[in-house]
């Protein structure tokens, strides 16, 4: 399917935000102003590459018209090179346009685990790590191995890497699943053909610091007379406080302090801690959903096959995309698979929230 990018709509949105920054009272509310400036910056970052591509195509069109008017064939190669570069840039922008999920802009935590196949599978896990490293190099991403368990004779039983770069998770979520390799074994003295499996798991890297923002209208604050220790004062005044966060139903109360003000402050601290834990649990559940398609690392479960013998082919079983140049794929040329998968997900209404 195609990706629709509303260039005119984005331009209008950009103009509207820019006009709002010129209003006299724009900086009166500094927090809202900063949020709008962040939106403006993000919109420009999205729009500028499309504007650049549009300008390149306009320039190529003018160059072609001049060449036709003057019957000048000398610029034919220049135009052909320009068209190819524009096509590549368009494919990259289309791929980026698919990334609208909640965590798509995040860095990625990539884990590769060897499956059925023994030493062969461990070597295959290392080959996959190399593939993702080379893919990352093409995008100027940093791929840092953070933990690993080596195989007995070669490769890794398990290796985890942090992939740092714009939308690393958004792209790499297309790689989650079992990868199958068929080749003549370099570890088999009889040079027989072996099939190996390794699983790829990708989760977004998220900030551990959970910021809790509570609107006053979301709180229900109740006071009541404490029944705890504290003597005559506690029994005669409504110093105890219960605070409920209405949207979640989470509450906290305090009655141990002498003053209502102190109890309110302590109850609020407890409530914020409970809401922070609630958010952490929600985030963990969301990440678990991103990993729902994990399968056994063995036959009949692979998302992609890499065949090096008796013929050469890499085929993605989810999208049907296949290429014959296995070495190029293992050297990091995997964007065609990522693009096809992400566009299929979007086409089926499967955007990650």
Options 3.20.20.140, 1.10.10.10, 3.30.420.40, 1.20.58.410; CATH for 7-97 is 1.20.58.410
In the numeric block, which tokens belong to residue 305? 């096959």
- Please write down the HEC assignment for all residues of 15-40: HHHHHHHCCCCHHHCHHHHHHHHHHH
- CATH fold of 216-287 reads Double Stranded RNA Binding Domain (3.30.160)
Q: Using an 8 Å Cβ cutoff, are 165 and 107 in contact?
A: yes
**pLDDT tens-digit map of 3-58:** 455 667 777 888 888 888 888 888 888 878 887 887 787 677 677 777 788 888 88
Q: What is the pLDDT of residue 208?
A: 55
Residue ranges, CATH 3.30.160.20, the chain: 216-287
Q: What is the pLDDT of residue 308?
A: 94
- The radius of gyration of the chain from alpha carbons, rounded to an integer in Å, stands at 28
Task: Map residue 100 onto helix, strand or coil.
Answer: coil
**pLDDT tens-digit map of 171-200:** 999 999 999 999 998 888 787 889 999 999
pTM here is: 0.64
Residue ranges, CATH 3.30.70.1660, the chain: 108-208+293-347
User: Residue with structure tokens 């009949």?
Assistant: 300
Residues of the chain scoring pLDDT < 50? 1-3, 229-235, 350-353
Q: What is the pLDDT of residue 230?
A: 46
- CATH fold of 108-208+293-347 reads Alpha-Beta Plaits (3.30.70)
């Amino acid at each position: 399917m195609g990706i629709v990018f509303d260039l005119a709509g984005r331009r209008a949105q950009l103009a509207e935000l820019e006009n709002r920054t010129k209003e006299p009272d724009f900086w009166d509310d500094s927090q809202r102003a900063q949020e709008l400036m962040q939106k403006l910056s993000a919109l420009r970052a999205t729009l500028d590459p499309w504007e650049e591509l549009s300008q390149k195509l306009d320039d190529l069109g003018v160059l072609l018209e001049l060449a036709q008017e003057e019957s000048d064939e000398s610029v034919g190669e220049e135009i052909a090179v320009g068209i190819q570069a524009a096509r590549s840039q368009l494919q990259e922008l289309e791929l980026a346009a698919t990334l609208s999920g909640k965590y798509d802009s995040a860095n990625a935590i990539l884990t590769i685990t060897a499956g059925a196949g023994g030493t062969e599978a461990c070597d295959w896990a290392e080959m996959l790590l190399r593939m993702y490293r080379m893919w990352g190099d093409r995008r100027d991403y940093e791929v840092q191995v953070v933990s690993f368990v080596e195989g007995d004779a070669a490769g890794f039983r398990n290796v985890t890497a942090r992939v740092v770069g714009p939308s690393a998770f958004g792209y790499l979520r297309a790689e989650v699943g079992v990868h199958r390799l068929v080749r003549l074994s370099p570890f088999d003295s009889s040079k027989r053909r072996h099939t190996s499996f390794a699983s790829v798991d990708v989760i977004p890297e998220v900030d551990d610091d959970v910021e809790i923002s509570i609107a006053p209208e979301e709180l229900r604050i109740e006071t009541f007379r404490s029944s705890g220790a504290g003597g005559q004062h506690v029994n005669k005044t409504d110093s105890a406080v219960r605070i409920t966060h209405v949207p979640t139903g989470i509450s906290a109360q305090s009655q141990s302090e002498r003053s209502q003000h102190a109890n309110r402050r302590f109850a609020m601290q407890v409530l914020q801690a409970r809401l922070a834990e609630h958010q952490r649990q929600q985030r963990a559940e969301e990440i678990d959903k991103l990993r729902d398609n994990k399968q056994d690392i063995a036959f009949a479960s692979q998302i992609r096959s890499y065949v090096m013998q008796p013929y050469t082919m890499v085929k993605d079983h989810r999208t049907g995309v296949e290429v014959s140049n296995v070495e190029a794929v293992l050297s990091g040329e995997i964007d065609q698979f990522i693009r096809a998968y992400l566009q299929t997900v979007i086409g089926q209404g499967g955007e990650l929230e």
